Amino acid sequence: MQVQFNSDSSVMGTENVAERIEAMLHTKLARFEERLTRIEVHVRDENGAKGGGDDKACVIEARPRGGRPIGVTEHAGKVDDAARKAANTLAQRLERHFGKGSRHGHDPRPDKMM
């Protein structure tokens, strides 16, 4: 599973933040790694230097093999907190997504061809 990290210029210490978030994602999503091709992470400070509560946003998009992307967005006062909330939400959505196919014992519906 490849992790791609993107941030805006107002998120300071980007390299260290990227390493922490990537490590946290590998831990939280380890059980789905073989079913995902890529994870894209986007972090930003929505109001820049103005400050304020819950102004850090984290968008995480997971790309399941042969399926449509699943994305989540969370906000918090700190980038790490927003990423942790987004990773938890994504893990829940992936559990539902992958769990449905295994519970029903059939292949996922192929995309319609026109």
Q: What is the CATH number of the domain that holds 83?
A: 3.30.160.100
Helices (H) and strands (E) in the chain, counts: 2, 4
pTM score, whole prediction: 0.80
Give average pLDDT by consecutive 10-residue segment, the chain, 114 residues. Answer: 84 76 92 93 82 84 93 92 95 88 56 60
Where b means 16+ CB within 10 Å and e means fewer, 8-38 reads eeeeeeeeebbeebbeebeebbeebeebbee
Nearest CA to 72 among 50, 95, 53? Answer: 95
Question: Is 112 among the domain residues?
Answer: no
pLDDT at 63: 95
Question: Is 105 among the domain residues?
Answer: no
How many C-beta atoms lie closer than 10 Å to residue 88's C-beta?
A: 13
Question: Is 86 among the domain residues?
Answer: yes
SS3 content of the chain, % helix, strand, coil (to 5): 45, 30, 30
Residue numbers of the domain that contains 15: 2-99
How many structural domains compose the chain? 1
Question: Is 109 among the domain residues?
Answer: no
